[in-house]
Amino acid sequence: MNAIDPRIHQALDGELAPAALSAELSRVVERLVTAAALLAAPLPLASLESRVMAAIRRPVPSPARRLLRWLATPRAITFRVRPVWSLAFAAVVALLTLFPLGHEGPDIGEHEGIAQFVGRFPGAQSVHVVGSFNDWRSGSIALEDVDQDGVWRATVVLPTGAYEYMFVVDGERWVPDHLAERLVADEFGRENSIVIVRPARR
């Protein structure tokens, strides 16, 4: 690599006035300035805001869950132990992965809660709840009529906050939740129900 005239460095570091340079040295400075300016152009990249904020709102797994995940993840480990210790280790791993510690239902994070949806739709073949918690996609939260009495239910883990929603019966009939106490106009001539999800750990 060829060293360049130190006055070029001084000019680029603001230690020497550019006017003090000869024409030739000024050309070199200009070359680097142009290169930097080209690299400094903003890139047409999508904003990361919604991605970052969604990740921030997602709960951090508990230390126990992180440990379980680490133990259950295949990884190359080389260590030399006596056979009795390797057997003991294998037994611990098997126990922890086959019998999760005191686990009932999903691990609910600090910023999550439970929303319970109930609706009476006798004769319906399917009932879904659709709202701002699932980008208004039908199919992601299905209610169930377990005992076939026409009462459909779903219990869902959601991030805390307020959401608008409706039920969709048999894939086509949009129905408000008559048991919901909170309603708001949807700007399309109907009313959405509102659910406020509070932290489950309170």
Partner 1 sequence: MDVTGAPSDAEVVARVLGGDSEAFALVVRRYEAGLLRFAARMLGSRDAAADAVAESFVRAYRHLASCREPARLRTWLYRIVANRCKSHLARRPIADVSLDEAPAVADAADTELNLERAEQLALVQRALVRLSPEKREAFLLKHVEGLSYEEMAAVTGERVPTLKMRVHRAREALLQVLEEYE
Partner 2 sequence: MKLWLGLALLAGPLAAQSAEARLEGRVPGAAIPAVDSLVQRAYAEGLPTEPLIQKALEGGAKQVTAPRIVAAVQVSLGQLRDARDLLVHGGDEPPVTPGEVTTVAWALRRGLPGPVVQRVLVALPRPPRASAMHAVADLVAHHFDPDSGADLIIAAIGQGLVPERLLDVSAAAARELQRGHTHAEALALVRQELPNVPASPKPTRSAVARARRPAAPTPP
Interface residue with partner 2 among 21, 68, 113, 177 (CB under 8 A) is 113
Of residues 44-63, which lie at the interface with partner 1 (CB under 8 A)?
Answer: 44-49, 51-53, 55-57, 60
CB 133 within 8 A of CB 165: yes
- φ, ψ of residue 17 in degrees (nearest 5): -70, 135
Interface residue with partner 1 among 7, 8, 138, 194 (CB under 8 A) is 8
Interface residue with partner 1 among 17, 19, 23, 38 (CB under 8 A) is 38
Site string (144-183) toward partner 2, x via CB under 8 A: ----------xxxxx--xx-x---------x------xxx
* Least gap, CB of 180 to partner 2 (angstroms): 10
* Least gap, CB of 41 to partner 2 (angstroms): 4
Angstrom distances, CA of residue 166 to CA of 24, 113, 137, 151: 72, 19, 11, 16
Partner residues linked to 175 by β-bridges: 167
Say how many residues touch partner 2, by CB under 8 A: 63
* Least gap, CB of 59 to partner 1 (angstroms): 11
E strand or H helix that includes residue 191: strand 191-197
Q: How far apart are CA 164 and CA 183, in angstroms?
A: 8
Does 72 engage in binding with partner 2 (CB under 8 A)? no
Helix (H, G, I), strand (E, B) or coil at 167: strand
State which residue, 64 or 158, has the beta carbon closest to partner 2: 158
Helix (H, G, I), strand (E, B) or coil at 196: strand
Does 23 engage in binding with partner 1 (CB under 8 A)? no
Q: How far apart are CA 70 and CA 91, in angstroms?
A: 16
Region label for 29, one of left (φ > 0), alpha (ψ between -120 and 50) or beta (otherwise): alpha
Positions in the binding site for partner 1 (CB under 8 A): 1-4, 8-9, 12-13, 28, 31-32, 34-36, 38-49, 51-53, 55-57, 60
